[in-house]
């Protein structure tokens, strides 16, 4: 079935650093969604991407829909302690289910 491979699994960075994470698939997706989950809470939608090559920003976050439609990237600039959490990529399958990557756990050292 369709799968999303997200990397890295975890990151431990210094406050102020930029962060990059990505999501890849062996099959094509028509939508890419990026979520952030704070500890003990449900995931919150950060950015939605609908067109190959699309680049969308939300504050310090920027996400890109890969041209091949098989990957997507999320960048966080100038990280701050409240960026801590788990970041998930997701996409809808052919059958309407939402498929999620395994998540990238981000820790920020002040």
Partner 1 sequence: DVKVTQSSRYLVKRTGEKVFLECVQDMDHENMFWYRQDPGLGLRLIYFSYDVKMKEKGDIPEGYSVSREKKERFSLILESASTNQTSMYLCASSFFHTGKTEAFFGQGTRLTVV
* Chain residues that interact with partner 1, rule: CB under 8 A: 30-31, 33, 35, 40-45, 48, 50, 88, 90, 92, 95-98, 100-103
To the nearest whole angstrom, how small is the minimum distance from the Cβ of residue 79 to partner 1? 23
Q: Based on CB atoms, which residue is closest to partner 1, 28 or 44?
A: 44
Residues for the chain: how many in total?
110
Query: What is the three-class DSSP state of 62?
Result: strand
- Element spanning 96, H or E: none
List CB contacts of 96: < 8 A, sequence separation 6 or more.
Answer: none
19 or 33: CB nearest partner 1:
33
Residue closer to partner 1 by CB (options 70, 77) is 70
Nearest residue to 61 via CA among 32, 35, 43, 39: 35
> To the nearest whole angstrom, how small is the minimum distance from the Cβ of residue 73 to partner 1?
19
């Amino acid at each position: 079935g369709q799968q999303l491979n997200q990397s890295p699994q975890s990151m431990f960075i210094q406050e102020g650093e930029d962060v990059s994470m990505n999501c890849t698939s062996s099959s094509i997706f028509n939508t890419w969604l990026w979520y952030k989950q704070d500890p003990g809470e449900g995931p919150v939608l950060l950015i939605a991407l609908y067109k190959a090559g699309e680049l969308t920003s939300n504050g310090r976050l920027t996400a890109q829909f890969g041209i091949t439609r098989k990957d997507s990237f999320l960048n966080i600039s100038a990280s701050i302690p409240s960026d801590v959490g788990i970041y998930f990529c997701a996409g809808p399958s052919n059958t309407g289910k939402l498929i999620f990557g395994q998540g990238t756990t981000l820790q920020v050292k002040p």
